Structure 1
Amino acid sequence: MSPGGRRQETSARYANLRRIRSLDPERDYLEIYQIMLRQEFPWDARLGLNLAFNRAFSIPAVAALLVSTGELTGRTRKRIDDTGLLMYEMVLNGFEHPRGRAAVRRVNQLHRPYDIPNDEYLYILAALVVVPLRWLDRYAWRRPSEHERRAVCRYYRELGARMGIREIPDSYPAFEAWFDAYDDAHLRYSDEAAAIERGSRSLMLGRIPRPLAPLGNALVSAMYDERLRRATGVARPPAAVRAGLHLGLRARALLLRRFGRPRAVPLFADGVRTRTYPDGYHISRLGPDGNPSPTAPAEADSPA
C-alpha cells in the first residue's frame, strides 16, 4: 500500500475523534458519549459498564440489599436486562427526551423505597465513570481523549443530579480519587457479593468469543482485579490465563488501530434487544415489580 493510502486509512480511522474534538464536552456531552459507546468503542465500553456494575454491586451493603430483593440471584437475567435497558434509554435518547425522562423516573421510583446512603449511590455513579474509562485506557484501540473524559463525567454528573445524589465530583481526577478512597475503605468480602457474582457471571461469559469458551470462567476471573476477586470469593486464575488475556486484548487493540474502520452503523441503530423482552418493552414496567409508575406518561413500546 502506498504512503498516501496509509494516510487516508489513518484519517478515516480517527474521523470520530476529530468530530469529538470539534464539540464542547460541557454542552455536547451526550453526543460525545453516544459516539464513544455506539461507534468508537462499542464492545469495550459495554464490557466496561458490565465490570462497573459488578464492582458496584460487590460493596457489602449494596450486595446485601440486592440479595434481599432476590433480583440478582433469583431473576438474574431479567434484572440485568432491566438495568441495561434503563441505562441505554438514557444514553440513546438523552435526559430531555420523553423516553430518557421516563427512564430516569423509573430508576428513581425503583430506588425510592430503600434507605440508601448518598455515598453508596455516589460509589455506583463513580464506578460507571472510572471503571469503563480505565478499561478503555488499558485495552481499547486508543485511549480516550480529554474531551471524552470530560464528557463522560458531565453525563454522569447530570444523571446523578437527576437522581438527587449530592457532592458529585466535578472532574475525572476527582471522580478517580473519590472512587479509589471509597473502594479501599469498603470493598470487602461478603457472602452476598459472592452470590451476586455467581448469578451474574453468565453475562460476562457471553462476552467471551466462542473459540475461547472452554476457558470462559478463567478468563472472566482474569478480567477482575485482585481486590474484586477477593470481595466476591473468586479464585485467582492461572498466571498463563491472566497473561494470555492481557496479551490477547493488547493485540486486538493494535489490530483495530491499524486495520479497523469506524463503525458504519451505530450500535443499537434498530433499538436495544434483550432475551427477556423479545417483543419489546415498556420503560415504566421495567424493574422488580413490573408495575408501571403511577406518574409515568404514556409511551410507546420499544421495537422488538
Structure 2
Amino acid sequence: MMARDRILKEIQTLDPQKDHERIVFLSTCYDFSFDTTRALELALFRTFCVPSISRLLDRTGEFRQRTQKRYDDTDILISELLEWGYSSERGLRAIQRINKLHGRFSINNEDFLYVLSTFLFEPIRWNSRFGWRIMCEQERLGLFYFWQAVGQRMHIQEIPEDYQTFERFNVEYERHHFQYAPSNYRTGMATVNMFSGWFPNVLAPSVQSAIYSLLEPPLLKAFGFPQPSPFMRWAVPSLLKLRASALRWLPPRRYPRLRTEISHPSHPHGYVIEKLGPPEETKGK
C-alpha cells in the first residue's frame, strides 16, 4: 500500500500506552524524520536558556571545545532510543550510557525533568507549525508515554502521570527559569557556529539569522542574541510551510530513515555506544 497516509493509518490502530515504542518509530522514522531532528535541535537550544544547565555545559568545556562531537553523540544516543526502542538491546545500552554520563555530575531533578519535557513537546510544537500533516492523538500520547518510560529508566523523579500536567510543568518552568547568563550565550553561540559551519562561509550570516528567526523573543533575550530582521522572521517559517505543502504531494517514504545508520562527522567509521560522550576524566563539580 503506497497511500500517503499509510503510516498514519497504522498508527491509528495502535494503543499509545502499550504500543508507544512502535508509534514513535513509525512517526519519527517515516513521516517526520527531518522534522524530528530539527525539533530536537530546537529542544536543546531551549535547555541552554536555563543558567543552571548552561553553566554545567560551559564549565565542562565540551560545547565550546568539541561542539560537533557533543552534538553527534547526543544525536546518536537519542536516535538509538527513537529508532530501536528503549527496551531493545541497543536501547538499554544507550540508557546505561546516558545514566553513566549524567552520573558524573550533580544535576537538579527539576532540570532533568525539563530537558525530558522538551524532547516530548518540541516535536509536537514543530509539527503544529511545519508538519505536512498534524500529529494524531496516538502520536502525541505515544510520545508522552515513550519519554515518560525513558525518564523512569533515567531515574528522574516526579514525572507527571498525564500529558496535560507535564505540559503545564514545561510552560511554567520556562517562565520561571529562562533568563540571560553569559554561559547561555557561550553555549548557544558555539552551537550556532557549528550549524553555520555546515555551510559555505559566505552563507554563515544568513544561517545564523535563520536560526534566530526560529527562536521566540524570550529565547533570544535569554541568549543575548540579536533580533532577526522582519524579512527573515517571515521568510524562514514561510519556506518551512512551503516544504510541508510540497511533501503532501510526494510519494510516502518506503523505508525508515535511521540516523543511527548514517555517517556522523565525529564518527566517520561508526561508533560504539559505550564510548559516546565526554572523556572519562571529565568530572562534575
TM-score range, shorter chain: over 0.9
Q: CA 1:172–1:272 in 2, change beyond 3 Å: closer, same or farther?
A: farther
How far 1:207 moved relative to its partner? 8.2
Within 5 A, what are the aligned runs for 1:105-254?
105-205=96-196, 215-254=206-245
Alpha-carbon separation, structure 2, partners of 1:239 and 1:208: 23
Within 5 A, what are the aligned runs for 1:275-286?
275-286=265-276
1:45-91 superposed Cα distances (whole Å, 9 cap, x missing partner):
11000100111132100000011101111111111111111111122
**What is the match of residue 13 of structure 1?**
4
**What is the match of residue 273 of structure 1?**
263
Within 5 A, what are the aligned runs for 1:280-295?
280-289=270-279
Alpha-carbon separation, structure 2, partners of 1:61 and 1:145: 35
Percent identity of the aligned residues? Answer: 32
Alpha-carbon separation, structure 1, partners of 2:32 and 2:201: 20
Who wins on radius of gyration, i.e. which is larger?
Answer: 1
How far 1:170 moved relative to its partner? 2.5
- Alignment-mate amino acid for residue 162 of structure 2: S
Alpha-carbon separation, structure 2, partners of 1:163 and 1:270: 21
SS at match of 2:35: helix
CA RMSD of aligned residues (A): 2.2
Q: CA 1:210–1:262 in 2, change beyond 3 Å: closer, same or farther?
A: farther
Q: CA 1:44–1:67 in 2, change beyond 3 Å: closer, same or farther?
A: same
How far 1:138 moved relative to its partner? 0.8
CA contact (8 A) 1:85 1:272 kept: no
CA contact (8 A) 1:153 1:170 kept: no
Alpha-carbon separation, structure 1, partners of 2:70 and 2:197: 16
Residue of structure 1 aligned with 2:89, choices 98, 116, 124 = 98
CA contact (8 A) 2:79 2:259 kept: no
- Where structure 1 has 5 or more consecutive residues not aligned to the other structure, the ranges are 1-7, 292-304
Within 5 A, what are the aligned runs for 1:42-61?
42-61=33-52
- Alignment-mate amino acid for residue 260 of structure 1: L
Q: CA 1:233–1:94 in 2, change beyond 3 Å: closer, same or farther?
A: same
How far 1:209 moved relative to its partner? 11
Q: CA 1:25–1:281 in 2, change beyond 3 Å: closer, same or farther?
A: same
Q: CA 1:290–1:265 in 2, change beyond 3 Å: closer, same or farther?
A: farther
**What is the match of residue 250 of structure 2?**
260
Q: CA 1:54–1:270 in 2, change beyond 3 Å: closer, same or farther?
A: closer
Q: CA 1:93–1:180 in 2, change beyond 3 Å: closer, same or farther?
A: same
How far 1:213 moved relative to its partner? 6.4
1:68-127 superposed Cα distances (whole Å, 9 cap, x missing partner):
101111111111111111111122222222211111011101111222111000000011
How far 1:35 moved relative to its partner? 1.2
Normalised TM-score (structure 2): 0.92
**What is the match of residue 297 of structure 1?**
none
**What is the match of residue 78 of structure 2?**
87
Q: CA 1:188–1:29 in 2, change beyond 3 Å: closer, same or farther?
A: same
1:22-62 superposed Cα distances (whole Å, 9 cap, x missing partner):
11111111111111111101111110001001111321000
- Alignment-mate amino acid for residue 90 of structure 1: L
- Alignment-mate amino acid for residue 272 of structure 2: H
CA contact (8 A) 1:37 1:45 kept: yes
Alpha-carbon separation, structure 1, partners of 2:264 and 2:29: 17
Q: CA 1:12–1:242 in 2, change beyond 3 Å: closer, same or farther?
A: same
